[in-house]
Amino acid sequence: MDLNEQKNRWEENTLHPLTNKYPERKQEFLTPSHIPLPNVAIPQEFDYMEKLGFPGEYPYTRGVQPTMYRGRFWTMRQYAGFATAEESNARYRYLLAQGQTGLSVAFDLPTQIGYDADDPMATGEVGKVGVSISSLDDMETLFRDIPLERVSTSMTINAPASVLLAMYIAVAKRQGVDPKKLRGTIQNDILKEFVARGTYIYPPLPSMRLITDTFKFCKENIPRWNTISISGYHIREAGSTAVQEVAFTLADAIAYVNAAIQSGLEVDEFANQLSFFFAAHNNFLEEVAKFRAARRLWARIMKERFQAKDPRSWMLRFHTQTGGSTLTAQQPETNVVRVTIQALAAVMGGTQSLHTNSMDEALWLPTEKSVRVALRTQQIIGYESGVADTIDPFAGSYVIEQLTDEIERQAMEYIQKIDDLGGALKAIENGYLQNEIQDAAYRFQQAIENKENIVVGVNAFEVDEKMELERLTVDPAIEKNQVERLTKLRARRDAGKVSELLTRLEQSAKSENNLMPLFIECVENDITLGEINGVLRQVWGEYQPPAWI
């Protein structure tokens, strides 16, 4: 190539420094939560042991286990579920064979909002964004040849969470597994649905009743099960800052603890079965500090505000998922790098469980190969990087400690504001949380459009390319087949028993009886998800958000 050709190439290439088209560096350096970063962090005077302590000791800034990943790695999960129970079961067994150590179930939209696959409301959505589960037969197929006493299963399900848990328990019983041996989590976090996600069914009060019923039942019958996964992930994906993610998640958690205490439970009876779910986004240092701040703040809330005595009640145990909203459809291979940074932040922040997104998720359902790459990302971090060999390796870093302190301080200010409004539920009803998230999302999008924030491949370093990634599609026949399965199920079951149980369910929904045992009896007699939730809809009604939201 001669000099003239080279010059022409440079002029055409918007990425070359001679064209001066590289994005300029910022004049002021802030985290995405607008916390200033100094040129050089200066150590602050603080009592090291009071602030940090040892790993596995209050206030758990450095982790909830004394040995952390030296004892064992975090649970490596991949969120999966699509089409039919048979197809999702094949994906789960594939992932377990590839070294995954826990399952994470994605349900389709009809299942998430309590409709059967043959309901008119489900038309066109069956199996599209997750697996279709309408009956105990579907759930049994989903976990066929998977020994439930040996795996930890997380289920991203909220409004009908207690019914899906009842199905899981019934499957375990059919496998001959003692429910007391079951390990896993149901998300079961309805407050964030009102704020950020939208898959609610019932008004707040009966929704909270289902949650506290689950707390009470699991305390006695499934003591190793996480009864709720209080989710900041969806709050963050809706556009919140890291500070808001911590604050609003813990404010929701405070509301659940209050509801459980008001229902008659002692705090130390249920608090050790609470778990949390956070996002990991791209600003590595802020994300590491966020996890540490959340842990310390929750420990203090439980010990000082709720007077919990059991150290297990003080521990914030959490699952992390890398940020779906951070993935780009442009140059999707770059998402492997984003996910690696985010996963590393989660590990350095002390997560107990981790899902890594696949590079093609901004485009379509992830393929087998892309899911394998995402799982390999976790395995390389765990087995090759060495970061898991030291407990809380960033402790004492001036920048990390400064960010941890500042995130904790700002999050506590939000929590106090929410308390002043009457708590999380009141703050949701008056739109405070939603408005704060929307404002943050708007500011973030403006910063991208103004190129104050650079997203590689989106507003800088763009290229024209043809997508050649493998694509996973959902067969339209899936819906038809699911409808046929339900028709056959309804034809073979005991109609009299079904009628009797649905009548009892209606009466119990009007009483203060714990509904979990009845849910299990219903699903064991082939009553479907939609039929159970249909009765509850008749008794409790459906939540209608205010017109101004």
- Place 80 in a pLDDT band, splitting at 50, 70 and 90: confident
Tell me which amino acid residue 28 is. E
- Residue 224 in domain: yes
- Residue 499 in domain: no
Cis peptide before 204 (omega within 30 of 0): no
- Indicate if the pLDDT at residue 3 is higher than 60: no
What whole-number distance in Å separates Cα of residue 100 and Cα of residue 58? 31
Q: Give the pLDDT score at 19.
A: 44
pLDDT, tens digit, for every residue of 342-380?
Answer: 999 999 999 999 999 999 999 888 888 999 999 999 999
Partner residues linked to 319 by β-bridges = 277, 353
What whole-number distance in Å separates Cα of residue 202 and Cα of residue 87? 31
Which 8-state DSSP code applies to residue 26?
A: P
For residue 108, give both structure tokens: 């389709």
Q: Give the pLDDT score at 472.
A: 61
- Residue 32 in domain: no
Q: How far is CA 91 from CA 22, 88, 269, 347, 371, in A?
A: 42, 5, 37, 25, 10
pLDDT, mean of residues 99-111: 94
Q: Give the pLDDT score at 11.
A: 47
For residue 446, give both structure tokens: 């403006």
Using the structure block, give the residue that is written with the tokens 């900041």: 232
For residue 240, give both structure tokens: 């919140």
Residue pair 284/344 in contact by the 8 Å Cβ criterion:
yes
- Residue 168 in domain: yes
Q: Average model confidence (pLDDT) for the chain?
A: 92
Q: Give the pLDDT score at 545.
A: 86
- Residue 369 in domain: yes
- Indicate if the pLDDT at residue 384 is higher than 90: yes
- Residue 210 in domain: yes
pLDDT, tens digit, for every residue of 191-242?
Answer: 999 999 999 999 999 999 999 999 999 999 999 999 999 999 999 999 999 9
- Indicate if the pLDDT at residue 547 is higher than 80: no
Q: What b-and-e string marks burial along 420-443, b requiring 16 or more CB atoms within 10 Å of the CB?
A: ebebbbebbbeebbbebbeebbee
In this structure, of 192-206, 360-374, 425-439, 461-475, the range with the lowest mean pLDDT score is 461-475
Q: Residue 54 region, left (φ>0) first, then alpha (ψ -120 to 50), else beta?
A: beta
- Residue 292 in domain: yes
- Indicate if the pLDDT at residue 310 is higher than 70: yes
pLDDT, mean of residues 70-85: 91
What whole-number distance in Å separates Cα of residue 33 and Cα of residue 286? 8
- Place 14 in a pLDDT band, splitting at 50, 70 and 90: very low
- Indicate if the pLDDT at residue 271 is higher than 50: yes
pLDDT, mean of residues 271-288: 98
Q: Dihedral of CA 318/319/320/324: which sign?
A: negative
How many domains does the structure of the chain reveal? 1
Q: What CATH number does the domain containing 245 carry?
A: 3.20.20.240
Range of the domain at 271: 48-449
- Angle (CA) 445-319-243 rounded to 5° is 40
pLDDT, mean of residues 389-395: 90
- Residue 56 in domain: yes
